[in-house]
């Protein structure tokens, strides 16, 4: 018997059709290739002695993609030898590949009528149903074959594939296992079982199947890539890179291996090396546009959103419907402040994957950025219904609840932040405090954001008032400042300073304290709760002596703009112009870092006092905290300085974007956290002019009140 066409795989005789499509989607019909002047093909039955020659000719045409010509010959062969199932099978495949699904089904059903006892004939019907996305029909067909022929491992394997397409991975795993019990050498079944194990979180078993595949076929790079992908999904980036290198040793120009290696490097934070690996992958396969999406994401993580968006533009010019690229461009555009354009990209993605949680999460963030808080909440709730276990969606909803002052519900959901909020130390090797047990010693772990550490630090006093021995674990640069919150708190930066055998030792993240001890901020200790170093106050006394008659205003305008979460919070220094134009005001720059360079580019630079750039060298805000004592007012954005001034009980005006971070809420001029703070909110996205006009009016009011007070003193004297 002649062999099947060489372009069709041999390990699974139905694989030739099923591999025309992705695992969860049907194929687009393959284009029919016609020769310029194809010779006419008669469908009359060939003579018996010409059957072998005709069959060889048909399979050759089939292999070349000349489906219509192959189909004509196959039909003639079926007329000549109607009992040959292999010819009927190839005719069915050719019809499917030519996009003639209806004719393929008729052919498959005819094969069943001719061979009712042959499971292979019935599997043909299932294959056609599967290509037509009739998943339940295909599953019913494959299950009936399993009942009819229990020893047919192919039926179990194909039933497993359909179950996987339906998202029923546990059932799919059972079918793959049954197929392997019938034939332990069934490569396809083992490949798909490894994937099913991985989807079910059974990583060790998935890798065991991969190792068996590699042992059986050590030169087959696809097995290594499967293993590498599973390791990558499990976060085992170094091991994934080792596997990628093994694949590259077998095939140095293999796109997938370079791509895998790049993802491993990216996961390890080696962005420059990852970039090289992705570029190598692109050089191996320039038509693989998905690597451009990955490169775009990498550039965004390297804080280059403009370059990221440009890469996405290139990729979309080549492949306009690539949803991965649209998503990456949306994320980059958000960081660039191109909010409406980013939302357009997200909508393009949601047309294809309306329930994708990651995409809905980004959409909800964009809606918040645009000030559409109710629409954003609806989007969050849609994502939550799609996957209630997704931590980031839980975190977004928690922040929204806190912004709406739904304290109990907000703090309960706030625990989902931990995967996204790096701590000063990873989970400690002793029990986490639940708020109920009475600890002997309690280690409070400061979280990465200094803003939130300053916000929550007052709760350390509450713990001490309850008689607890409290230790605060924070990065070294924050020790000097936070040590002043309460003398009863031992502030450390190294956990080795604590004996792990101390009886009753517990730990707790600082951001978890509100939910454990005081959900309503009305019950928190009131500012000021951050005393200042008196010696440093004296050191900066000259600020008050230089211009005693003027209203001294400390200003700060920029945070670390390179961090995506800070997008939109910084303010251009030029927005402070209305304050600089006021005659009885003295502006003092409290800006540090790259943002200070703006002082060289504004026309009112000479109206701003610049302080010693070496201030705070021995600890974050340690000098700035003392400087606040000599100021009449602080004007800043949604920055850590705002929290510092609030914790010190100093008057502060905070300029906020239209939808600021959760602790400022969505409306109002006041916050329950800092009674001496006034909030000035944008009325339109990205526009600061109106905000600073209102701030200038409030400053004028303060000046008038000050003049009136001075005049009253003069009059009384």
Is it the case that residue 25 has pLDDT exceeding 70?
A: no
Cα gap 106→93, rounded to integer Å: 12
Q: Residue 4's Cα: distance from chain center in Å?
A: 45
**Confidence tier at 204 by pLDDT (50, 70, 90):** very high
The pLDDT of residue 35 is above 70: no
All residues at 6 or more sequence positions from 276 whose CB lies less than 8 Å from its CB, including other chains? 262
How would you label 336-348 residue by residue, b for 16+ Cβ within 10 Å and e otherwise?
eebbeebbebbeb
Q: Give the mean model confidence (pLDDT) for residues 463-474.
A: 96
Q: What pLDDT score was predicted for residue 566?
A: 55
> What burial class does residue 675 get, using C-beta atoms within 10 Å of its C-beta: 0-12 exposed, 13-18 middle, 19+ buried?
exposed
Checking if the pLDDT of 31 tops 50, the result is no
Label the pairing between strands 585-589 and 652-656. Answer: unpaired
| Range picked from 85-94, 415-424, 704-713 for highest mean pLDDT | 85-94
| Average pLDDT value for the chain | 89
Q: Say which residues have a Cβ less than 8 Å from residue 92's Cβ, sequence separation at least 6.
A: 17, 104, 107, 108, 111, 124, 127, 128
CA distance 157 to 178: 8
- The whole-number pLDDT of residue 177 equals 96
Highest mean pLDDT among 10-14, 130-134, 468-472: 468-472
Q: Which residues pair with 491 in a beta bridge?
A: 472
Confidence of residue 568 (pLDDT cuts 50, 70, 90): low
| 678 bridge partner residues | 653
What is the rounded average pLDDT of the residues 190-194?
Answer: 96
Looking at residue 226, its pLDDT comes to 96
Segment 451-471 shows an average pLDDT of 96
CA-based R_g, the chain, Å: 34
pLDDT of residue 423: 62
Residue 410 has pLDDT above 80, yes or no: yes
Tell the CATH topology of 543-710.
Answer: Rossmann fold (3.40.50)
| Closest to 515 measured CA to CA, from 595, 407, 420 | 407
Task: With a cut of 50, say whether residue 310 has pLDDT above it.
Answer: yes
**41-50: pLDDT as tens digits:** 444 445 555 7
Least confident residue range of 21-30, 301-310, 464-473, 477-486: 21-30
Alpha carbon distance 150, 156 (integer Å):
9
Q: Residue 17 pLDDT > 60, yes or no?
A: no
pLDDT in tens, 511-551: 999 999 999 999 999 999 999 999 999 999 988 877 778 99
H-state helical runs in 492-621: 513-517, 534-539, 542-546, 577-580
Domain segments of the chain: what residues? 355-420, 441-523, 543-710
Tally: H helices and E strands in the chain: 33, 10
Q: Which fold has domain 355-420?
A: 1.25.40
Sheet architecture: strand order including 441-445:
490-492, 469-473, 441-445, 505-509
Average pLDDT rounded to a whole number, residues 677-703: 96
Contact 319, 348 (CB under 8 A): no
pLDDT digits (tens, 9 = 90+) for 356-366: 999 999 999 99
pLDDT score, position 289 = 79
Q: Tens digit of pLDDT for each residue in 369-401? A: 999 999 999 999 999 999 999 999 999 999 999
pLDDT of residue 5 exceeding 70, the answer is no
Given this model, what pLDDT does residue 500 score? 87
Predicted confidence at residue 422, as pLDDT, reads 63
So what's the pLDDT on residue 716?
Answer: 81
In the chain, % of residues over pLDDT 90: 75
Question: Would you state the pLDDT for residue 255?
Answer: 95
Chain segment 49-79, per-residue pLDDT in tens: 578 899 899 999 999 999 999 999 999 998 8
Helix runs in 521-673, H state only: 534-539, 542-546, 577-580, 622-627, 640-647
Q: Which CATH code fits 441-523?
A: 3.40.50
Q: What is the pLDDT of residue 34?
A: 39
pLDDT of amino acid 659? 87
Mean pLDDT in residue range 624-637: 96
């Amino acid at each position: 018997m002649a062999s099947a066409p060489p372009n069709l795989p041999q390990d699974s005789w139905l694989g030739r059709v099923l591999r025309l499509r992705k695992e969860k989607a049907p194929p687009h019909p393959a284009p029919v290739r016609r020769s310029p002047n194809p010779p006419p093909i008669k469908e009359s039955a060939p003579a018996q002695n010409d059957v072998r020659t005709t069959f060889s000719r048909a399979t050759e045409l089939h292999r070349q993609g000349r489906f219509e010509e192959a189909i004509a010959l196959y039909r003639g062969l079926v007329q000549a030898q109607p009992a040959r199932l292999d010819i009927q099978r190839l005719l069915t495949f050719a019809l499917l590949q030519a996009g003639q699904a209806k004719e393929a089904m008729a052919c498959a059903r005819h094969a069943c009528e001719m061979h009712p006892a042959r499971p292979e004939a019935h599997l043909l019907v299932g294959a056609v149903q599967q290509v037509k996305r009739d998943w339940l029909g295909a599953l019913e067909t494959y299950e009936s074959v399993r009942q009819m022929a229990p020893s047919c491992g192919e039926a179990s394997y194909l039933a497993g594939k359909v179950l996987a397409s339906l998202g029923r991975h546990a059932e799919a795993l059972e079918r793959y296992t049954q197929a392997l019990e019938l034939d332990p050498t069934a490569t396809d079944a083992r490949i798909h079982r490894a994937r099913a194990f991985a989807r079910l979180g059974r990583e060790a078993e998935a890798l065991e199947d991969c190792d068996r595949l590699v042992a059986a076929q050590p030169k087959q790079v696809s097995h290594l890539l499967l293993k590498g992908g599973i390791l990558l999904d499990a976060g085992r980036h170094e091991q994934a890179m080792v596997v990628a290198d093994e694949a590259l040793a077998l095939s140095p120009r293999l796109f997938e291996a370079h791509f895998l290696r790049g993802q491993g490097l990216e996961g390890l934070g080696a962005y420059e090396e990852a970039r090289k690996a992705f570029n190598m992958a692109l050089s191996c396969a320039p038509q693989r546009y998905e690597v451009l999406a990955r490169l775009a994401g990498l550039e965004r993580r390297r804080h280059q959103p403009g370059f990221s968006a440009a890469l996405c533009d290139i990729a979309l010019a080549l492949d306009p419907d690539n949803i991965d690229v649209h998503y990456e461009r949306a994320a980059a555009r958000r960081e660039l402040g191109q909010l409406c354009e980013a939302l357009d990209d997200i909508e393009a993605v949601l047309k294809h994957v309306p329930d994708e949680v990651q995409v809905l999460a980004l959409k909800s963030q964009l809606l918040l950025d645009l000030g559409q808080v109710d629409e954003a909440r609806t989007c969050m709730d849609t994502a939550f219904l799609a996957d209630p276990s997704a931590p980031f969606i839980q975190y977004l909803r928690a922040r929204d609840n806190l912004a709406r002052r739904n304290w109990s519900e907000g703090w309960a959901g706030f625990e989902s932040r931990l995967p996204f909020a790096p701590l000063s130390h990873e989970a400690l090797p002793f029990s986490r405090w639940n708020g109920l047990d009475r600890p002997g010693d309690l280690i409070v772990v400061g979280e990465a954001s200094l803003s939130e550490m300053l916000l929550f630090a007052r709760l350390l006093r509450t713990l001490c008032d309850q008689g607890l021995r409290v230790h605060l674990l924070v990065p070294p640069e924050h020790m000097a400042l936070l040590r002043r919150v309460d003398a009863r708190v031992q502030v450390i930066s190294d956990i080795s300073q604590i004996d792990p055998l101390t009886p009753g030792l517990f730990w707790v993240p600082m951001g978890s304290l509100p939910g454990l001890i005081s959900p309503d901020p009305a019950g928190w200790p009131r500012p000021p709760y951050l005393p200042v170093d008196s010696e440093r106050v004296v050191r900066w006394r000259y600020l008050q002596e230089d211009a005693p008659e003027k209203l001294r205003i400390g200003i700060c305008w920029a945070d670390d703009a390179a961090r995506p979460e800070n997008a939109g919070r910084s303010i251009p220094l030029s927005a402070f112009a209305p304050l600089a134009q006021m005659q009885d005001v003295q502006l003092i720059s409290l800006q540090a870092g790259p943002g200070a360079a703006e002082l060289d580019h504004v026309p009112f630079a000479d109206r701003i006092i610049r302080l010693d750039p070496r201030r705070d060298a021995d600890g974050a805000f340690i000098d700035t905290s003392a400087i606040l004592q000599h100021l009449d007012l602080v004007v800043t954005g949604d920055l850590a300085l705002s929290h510092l001034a609030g914790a010190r009980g100093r008057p502060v005006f905070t300029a906020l974007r239209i939808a600021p971070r959760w602790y400022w809420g969505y409306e109002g001029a006041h916050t329950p956290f800092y009674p001496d703070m006034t909030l000035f909110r944008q009325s339109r996205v990205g526009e600061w002019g109106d905000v600073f006009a209102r701030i200038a009016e409030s400053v004028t009011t303060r000046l008038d009140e000050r003049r009136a007070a001075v005049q009253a003193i003069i009059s009384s004297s």
